Amino acid sequence: MSALQLSDVRKVYRSGDQDIAALDHATLDVGDDEIVALVGPSGSGKTTLLSIAGGLLRPTSGSVVVAGHDISGYEDKKLTAFRGSEVGFVFQSVNLVPFLTARENLLVVAEMTGKPKGPARSRADQLLEELGLGGRSRNLPDQLSGGERQRVAIGRALMNEPGLALFDEPTSALDTEMGEQVMTLIRTEVKERGVAAVVVTHDTRMTHFADRKVEITDGRLAASGG
């Protein structure tokens, strides 16, 4: 079973008297433990595709199947619950809660989905240790470096053991060395857990961490070498 299947997906916005296709008949199949790098210039539809894959946006047409569930027609409440349990996100701006510690930023994810507190604390501590943040768990986001904040965001995305993790430009604010470290962590963490991942990036230096690269231009996908 594939972790993600997009079939003939379109996302159309109305602008004046014109229809603008942000995503144009996109079809993509991501295997259970596959890492796909989605590469394209600004405005090509990368973030739109990621948002539709994770249930943050609804497609205008086409189907979106995540872990065998066709979420295209889910009502808002059901879609929110599904995202919380099956999909992990790392946004470009990281979006950590500024008044929560690194550990609390992970735990709040479990709390929102009603996970038992004891196992959640153990999992948060385990993830932070694996990400090299065991000694930083009580620090607030503004007490962490950019790379450390990105690692907390990765831990948060994996907190509820999702089948699909989605990364939007995870290295955009990092220098090359730190970007390599973050991508190494992403690959290690998702592969060890058998999680599928889609990594949106414009940085072709980072695509070798993926199993496959898919290019997007003007909302259209075209596969290329891995």
* Digit-coded pLDDT (tens) for 1-36: 689 999 999 999 888 788 888 999 999 999 998 999
Model pLDDT, residue 24: 93
CB 166 within 8 A of CB 53: yes
- For residue 10, what are its two tokens? 């379109």
- Exposed / middle / buried, residue 194 (Cβ in 10 Å: 0-12, 13-18, 19+): exposed
User: What is the C-alpha separation between 100 and 18, in angstroms, rounded?
Assistant: 44
With a cut of 90, say whether residue 143 has pLDDT above it: yes
Residue type, 180: E
What digits encode the pLDDT tens for the residues 59-117?
A: 999 999 998 999 988 998 899 889 888 999 988 777 899 999 999 999 998 888 778 88
Q: Burial of 71 by CB count in 10 Å (0-12 exposed, 13-18 middle, 19+ buried)?
A: buried
Tens digits of residue pLDDT in 60-75? 999 999 989 999 889 9
- Paired with 220 in beta bridges are 217
Query: What confidence category does residue 42 fall into, taking pLDDT thresholds of 50, 70 and 90?
Result: confident
Tally of structural domains, the chain: 1
The CATH number that applies at residue 56 is 3.40.50.300
Q: Say if residue 124's pLDDT is above 90.
A: yes
User: Residue 226: its pLDDT value, please?
Assistant: 47
- pLDDT class for 223, splitting at 50, 70, 90? low
Q: Could you tell me where the DSSP H helices lie in the chain?
A: 46-53, 76-86, 102-112, 117-130, 146-158, 176-193
Range of the domain at 195: 4-224
User: What residues pair up with 200 in beta bridges, in sequence order?
Assistant: 38, 168
Model-wide pTM > 0.85: yes
Residue whose tokens read 């879609």? 79
